[in-house]
Amino acid sequence: MNDRTGCLTPGELHLDLSGALHIERAVDLVLEALVGPVVDWGQLTLVDRHQLVFSSRDLLGHFTSARLPAAALPRSSSLGRTLSTGVTELVLVPDGDDSDSETLASAVPVEEFRSSLTSIRPMDVVTIALSARGATYGALTVAVRGGDGFDPEGIAALEEFSLRVAGALDTTRALAESRHVAAVLSRELSPPALPSLPGVELASYYSVAFEAEALGGDFYDVHGGPADQEPDGHWTAVVGDVCGKGVEAAVLTGKVRQTIRTAALIDRHPGQVLGLANRVLVADEETFVTAICARGHSDETGVHLEIAAAGHPEPLVVRLDGSVEQVAVAGTVLGLLPDAVYAAVRIDLAPGETCLFFTDGVAEAPGHRGRFGDDRMREVLLDTGPCDVRAQVESVAMALSAHLGDRPHDDIAILAVQAGPLQ
């Protein structure tokens, strides 16, 4: 006598998928709501491009998953019919039927799943379609011990539940699709990993204004050097700030970074790089960018930098004696004047000395006692003194974080270049 499914009412099946935005997690929650309270076993099938993704759960709470090529499932099978027509399919698995049973395989094509089901006999199996956006994208299959078939109310209750599941899961699927697109684009637009340059230690910090978008209008980049087959071993470091925030600004940073990379291939002199980038950006009427650009190389005496700036905060240098110097360098914002000329200043770093480039998000950071300001940054660097470049950047980042608390802030980027120790 099977009265489990028979006494089912839709209201009993409580399910909240609102927070589960990851598809596998949502599938787990659906099966958890069903198996135990309502049925003895459950399987959820999803069509993923040319594959079928299966998840199952038993009464002991074991989850298993498997994949099969979609072509491997006969259209005439119970599951195949539900997936292609959207209709509900019923199967009765009689006593003594083993895991090789074709009857069961018709609804449960994964052999591993079937062998975990041998203890439930006789068994009623029902498969209900999950449909949205005009297509059946999956199916819910549940099994109960019994053999007397399902009563119409039980089937209706399961169909009603599946309808709700289909809507909720499809939202998650749609979200996963756009998340995938966003993730690929955001990898392109996020600051790249820092390269390894002989005789140079690099460290960076990056924090965006709009956390939810994870992308911002500040950027940094380091390229060139021996690894890029640069004949004289020269490399380029750049930090910049595109007007605007969030993903719209990030799209522009991608363009500006690429322009600067291309310009640097022609001539790494920072004045030339900024001049060329300026001409590209002037043509693009509404893009204004502040940037600071350095050409560097290292030898046995340390690192030598030529720095040019375009409307950007001046960098700070931490000397070996612990003093902190501001590098006086100025120039017009990129994208404003077609004939802007950018002059470079030269800075030499002895081993252990550091030059820090940063955007105005650092000084502008709001706090309980006012803005962070240049003075506070200088004070932190004086306190930290000459030491490991990561510790220097982290000290500033920690002080900034303590200063900000959870206040909204602008995008922040810091890039530090240290002359490596004499080996």
| Site stretch for other proteins (CB under 8 A), options 146-154, 227-235, 272-280, 383-391 | 383-391
Tell me if 390 contacts other proteins by CB under 8 A: yes
First-to-final CA distance of the chain: 82
Tell me if 401 contacts other proteins by CB under 8 A: yes
Q: Which residue's CB is nearer to other proteins, number 176 or number 336?
A: 176
Tell me if 75 contacts other proteins by CB under 8 A: no
Q: From the list 20, 128, 158, 294, which residue makes contact with other proteins (rule: CB under 8 A)?
A: 20
| Span 30-49, contacts to other proteins by CB under 8 A | 32
Q: Which residue's CB is nearer to other proteins, number 160 or number 394?
A: 394
* SS3 per residue for 129-154: EEEECCEEEEEEEEEEECCCCCCHHH
Tell me if 324 contacts other proteins by CB under 8 A: no
What tokens were used for 119? 């203890």
Q: Minimum distance from CB of 67 to other proteins (Å)?
A: 12
Q: From the list 53, 264, 397, 417, which residue makes contact with other proteins (rule: CB under 8 A)?
A: 397
Q: Which residue's CB is nearer to other proteins, number 208 or number 292?
A: 208
Q: Minimum distance from CB of 212 to other proteins (Å)?
A: 5
Tell me if 59 contacts other proteins by CB under 8 A: no
Show the binding pattern over residues 361-380: x = contacts other proteins (CB under 8 A), - = does not. ------xx----------x-
Total interface residues for other proteins by CB under 8 A: 40
Tell me if 195 contacts other proteins by CB under 8 A: no
Q: Minimum distance from CB of 59 to other proteins (Å)?
A: 14
Tell me if 238 contacts other proteins by CB under 8 A: no
Tell me if 170 contacts other proteins by CB under 8 A: no
Tell me if 115 contacts other proteins by CB under 8 A: no
Distance CA 202, CA 329 (A): 21
Q: Minimum distance from CB of 232 to other proteins (Å)?
A: 27
Q: Which residue's CB is nearer to other proteins, number 23 or number 165?
A: 23
Tell me if 214 contacts other proteins by CB under 8 A: yes
Q: From the list 212, 231, 328, 339, which residue makes contact with other proteins (rule: CB under 8 A)?
A: 212
Q: Minimum distance from CB of 145 to other proteins (Å)?
A: 23
Tell me if 383 contacts other proteins by CB under 8 A: yes
Contact 139, 82 (CB under 8 A): yes
The closest alpha carbon to 120, from 95, 85, 154, 90, belongs to 95
Residues that bind other proteins (CB under 8 A): 16, 19-26, 28-29, 32, 61, 63, 175, 179, 183, 211-212, 214, 367-368, 379, 383-385, 387-388, 390-391, 394-395, 397-398, 401-402, 405-406, 421, 423
